[in-house]
């Protein structure tokens, strides 16, 4: 009997742990091309970065266009978020879906995002490559700078000017 009770507790724990990996709510703010705030059903607001892609920052070429595209796709929409962990700054990473629409794919198709710097998804790489071959968005530029490189360069400049 004790074993059955322990198994039930363990199953319940794993269910609740798994249930916490998914959020549902409304996108109430788009911060930049790959970051939004979701007002979840628990009445908490969560900052979520799109998992698997990286968009130009707002102070970088195509950053505002990426933000505007994400606003068109998600702002004021009900979404489901499959949480995938946190980045090194503690921001939640997630796959955000509104119906069948995956905004990561849309941003990549429009040439407004790169695939992740580390371990990029091969399917996303193919979408990015097609946008690049067709000269969409940031791929119109001769040598677009990936956002992670841009951020590092910006940090280095700030360190030198201090």
Write down the domain spans for the chain. 21-161
Predicted local distance difference test score (pLDDT) of residue 157:
75
pLDDT 10s per residue in the chain (162 long)?
544 433 443 433 333 334 469 999 999 999 999 999 999 999 999 999 999 999 999 999 999 999 999 999 999 999 999 999 999 889 999 999 999 999 999 999 999 999 999 899 999 999 999 999 999 999 999 999 999 999 888 878 776 555
CA distances from 7 to 13, 54, 113, 122 (A): 10, 41, 45, 39
Strands 78-86 and 92-97: antiparallel
Domain covering 21-161, topology: OB fold (Dihydrolipoamide Acetyltransferase, E2P) (2.40.50)
pTM, two decimals, is: 0.83
Encoded tokens for 46: 């969560």
CA distance 19 to 82: 10
The C-alpha angle with vertex 70 and arms to 107 and 144, in degrees rounded to 5, equals: 45
What is the separation of C-alpha 35 from the centre of its chain, rounded to a whole number of angstroms? 6
């Amino acid at each position: 009997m004790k074993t059955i009770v322990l198994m039930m507790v363990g199953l319940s724990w794993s269910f609740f742990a798994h249930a916490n990996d998914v959020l549902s709510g409304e996108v109430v703010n788009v911060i930049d091309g790959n970051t939004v705030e979701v007002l979840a059903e628990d009445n908490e607001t969560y900052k979520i970065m799109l998992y698997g892609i990286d968009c130009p920052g707002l102070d970088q070429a195509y950053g505002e266009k990426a933000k505007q595209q994400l606003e068109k796709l998600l702002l004021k929409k009900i979404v489901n978020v499959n949480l995938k962990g946190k980045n090194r700054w503690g921001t939640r990473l997630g796959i955000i879906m509104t119906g069948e629409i995956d905004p990561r794919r849309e941003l990549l198709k429009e040439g407004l995002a790169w695939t992740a710097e580390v371990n990029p998804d091969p399917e996303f790489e193919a979408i990015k490559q097609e946008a690049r071959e067709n000269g969409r968005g940031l791929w119109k530029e001769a040598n677009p700078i990936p956002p992670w490189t841009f951020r590092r360069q910006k940090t280095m400049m700030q360190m030198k000017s201090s």
